Homo-oligomer: A and B are copies of this chain.
Amino acid sequence: MQALVFRGGRVQVVNDYPDPQQKGDDVLIKVRRAGICATDLEIMRGYMDFTGVLGHEFVGEVLKGPKELMGKRVVGEINCVCGRCDMCQSGLSSHCRQRQVIGIAGHDGVFAEKVVLPRRNVHVLPDAVDDDRAVFVELLAAAYQIIKQAPIEPRAKVIVVGDGRLGLLTLQVLAQAAAPTNKVVLLGKHADKLMFAEKRGIQGILLEEMLLKPEWDIVIDCTGCAAGFTTACKLVRPRGRLVLKSTFAAGGDAVDLSPLVVNEVTVIGSRCGPFIDAINALAAEKVVTNGLITSRFKLADGAAALEKAAQSDQIKVVLDIA
């Protein structure tokens, strides 16, 4: 099959990549569309030492699997877990000690014509969630994880730092979860992206116009870079909470952690979230993704797609695979 493969430190389209092999209760899925995520770009900089087919955000169609799934349009959770380790046994299977993560750790990803996933990872999509929405399920699930880990108290002031893909979804999740006494604001660098928030009744502020004072109860760092984390640290009030969503490869700029100690801030690392919440929100149009796909490429042009996704004017770049 055709696949976009990262190996030897470079990305290439391989036309004769071996088809994925079904094991156990694996489901074989034909990938229809896939989204490029910041993590894919970080992997290309060495994050996780991954080698193989890139990609983990996708929508596809079941080719082989249990009867009730055959031919269905599906999305898939990215952690392939053992079900037996201490984490799995304590209800934290996304932290499985033996996990493989599609396109990230030990398991080929979705920038390919086909992918296999364990049955338990597969979610059938309702018709209301079309393919262009479905490629956002994984990322939106990660946004829902924020309000599970850092519930918003009455009167709390909440600021999302970073107006990229994740920021624009997170914002909508927070706005929904917020009470009338809450304040939710987006801080970003791009006037056009902030407009997306404004259209949804949420205030957007340009970084260059923002007074960086430690007065926000909850700060969500969706920037994916050390500079963004430093900005977030300057915004969180003493004893406030900073939710850290984005992973960045080691060896970047030095991060000064002393404000976290001085202000006794709680930093909450946050990763994958509940697919069901994301699918339901998209189906009910509680979260909108219109306008977030800024470029489309064929799988054969995957290398160009990854380059495009690294440009700051892009929001979501997708690969149309089948």
Size of the chain A interface, CB-CB below 8 angstroms: 37
Tell me the complex Cα distance, A263–B270, Å: 8
Cβ B266 vs Cβ A261 within 8 A: no
Q: Is A258 an interface residue (CB 8 A)?
A: yes
Cβ A266 vs Cβ B264 within 8 A: no
Interface residues as binary, A249-285 with B (CB distance below 8 Å gives 1, 0 otherwise): 1111111111111111111111100000000000000
A interface list, Cβ under 8 A from B = 47, 87, 92, 95, 149, 226, 229, 238-239, 244-271
Cβ B258 vs Cβ A255 within 8 A: no
Tally of this chain's copies: 2
Tell me the complex Cα distance, A244–B267, Å: 10
Cβ A264 vs Cβ B258 within 8 A: no
Cβ A250 vs Cβ B254 within 8 A: yes
Cβ B247 vs Cβ A95 within 8 A: no
Which of chain B's residues has its CB closest to A270's CB?
Answer: B264
Residues of B within 8 A of A251 (CB): 254, 256
Tell me the complex Cα distance, A174–B251, Å: 34
Residues of B within 8 A of A253 (CB): 254
Tell me the complex Cα distance, A233–B86, Å: 19
Contact of A244 among B87, B245, B257 (CB under 8 A): B257
